[in-house]
Structure 1
Amino acid sequence: MGKVLVLNASYEPLNITSWRRAAVLLIKGKAEQVEHNGKLVYTEFPLPTVIRLRYYVRVPYKEIPLTRRNILHRDNHSCQYCSYTGDDLTLDHVIPRSRGGGDSWENIVTACVRCNVNKGSRTPKEANMILRHPPRKPYSSLHFEVAKHLKSGTHQEWRKYVIGL
């Protein structure tokens, strides 16, 4: 039937759960319904799409690993210079390693082979190439999951609860 965005008592996104688990939390009084899509689970019980926990849950910070897969996902599998989307994408250091640029979320972007070779060991400014989006560290791993649902066109009501999308 669908996925449900779970918000902490402070309205910050915690995770995505099944509609069944969300219904259990609502019935037990541990959560309240914030958004629904108009469909009914039972008579007088609308199917939730966003719920909020009644009590604050402390969640430890979890570092998002800097991997090729995560960078491609962050950059929407497209070249950050020319918008090319395809199979032969590479990773480009905005400040080249030869100039002291390191491996960090803020220094690596997705680039097609042509743009990566064209840029070479220069900065984007020196190569007269403009980045479509400045590279930044994702807010959370949940950010990736929510972004996937929003880009597919489902659960647009989640957008107002997530920063940076």
Structure 2
Amino acid sequence: MRTLVLNAGYEPLAVVSFRRALLLVLNDKATIVEHVVHDPVVGIDGIYERPAVIVLTRYVRIPSARRVPVTRRGVLRRDGHRCAYCGKAAATIDHVLPRSRGGSNSWENLVACCLRCNNHKSDHTPQEMGWELRWAPKPPRGPQWTVRGTERTDPTWEPYLGLAA
């Protein structure tokens, strides 16, 4: 069971275990905004609501430039597990400008790619192959990328994350 933590200004901060969330609530560092209806926590001192979303009582300053780290899993997720060259299911990633030619490990140079296209492209650029990218690779944006743990969201979190239902 996981809980979404909101800053005092209601912007999403992190996802924590329900135990950590309950401790924050019991220590008066947070209050429960949404709770799981039919699943209370029974303790020695009483019965408590199981938090689904909590808001901190004090504002926590976060760095303004929160950069999303580049990972293989992140590139595949950003591209919807679809090959940027042919559109089929992708399981690998490809450097648009190969590393041997100075290509970097950046969001702008990495795309999801199927194994067939990746092997066929090899150490060439898409222009040399006569290929075009189906979309321009860009860094991902939004709370589902900057807030850790929101890859798998709970339906009660959607109003706070700003995601379309």
- Report the TM-score, using the length of structure 1 for normalisation: 0.69
Letter in 2 for 1:19: F
- Name 1:113's counterpart in structure 2: 115
Q: Residue 70 of structure 2 aligns to a residue in which SS?
A: coil
Q: 1:128 to 1:85 in 2, by over 3 A?
A: closer
List aligned pairs for 1:121-132, cutoff 5 A: 121-122=125-126, 127=131, 130-131=134-135
Q: Determine the C-alpha separation between the residues in 2 that align with 1:159 and 1:21.
A: 21
Q: 1:31 to 1:37 in 2, by over 3 A?
A: same
- Report the TM-score, using the length of structure 2 for normalisation: 0.69
| 2:40 is equivalent to residue 40 of structure 1 | yes
Give the alignment's Cα RMSD to 1 decimal. 3.4
Q: Residue 66 of structure 1 aligns to a residue in which SS?
A: coil
Identity %: 36
- Name 1:161's counterpart in structure 2: 160
- Name 1:28's counterpart in structure 2: 27
Instruction: Name segments (4+ residues, structure 1) moved above 2 Å.
Output: 42-45, 59-81, 96-104, 113-123, 126-131, 133-145, 159-165
How many residues matched? 152
Larger Rg: 2
Q: Determine the C-alpha separation between the residues in 2 that align with 1:162 and 1:55.
A: 19
Q: Residue 126 of structure 2 aligns to a residue in which SS?
A: coil
Q: Determine the C-alpha separation between the residues in 2 that align with 1:104 and 1:24.
A: 39
Q: Residue 149 of structure 2 aligns to a residue in which SS?
A: helix
Per-residue deviation, 1:47: 0.8
Q: Residue 41 of structure 1 aligns to a residue in which SS?
A: strand
Q: Residue 113 of structure 2 aligns to a residue in which SS?
A: strand
Q: Quick check: 1:7–1:13 contact (8 Å CA) kept in 2?
A: yes
- Unmatched 5+ residue regions in structure 2? none
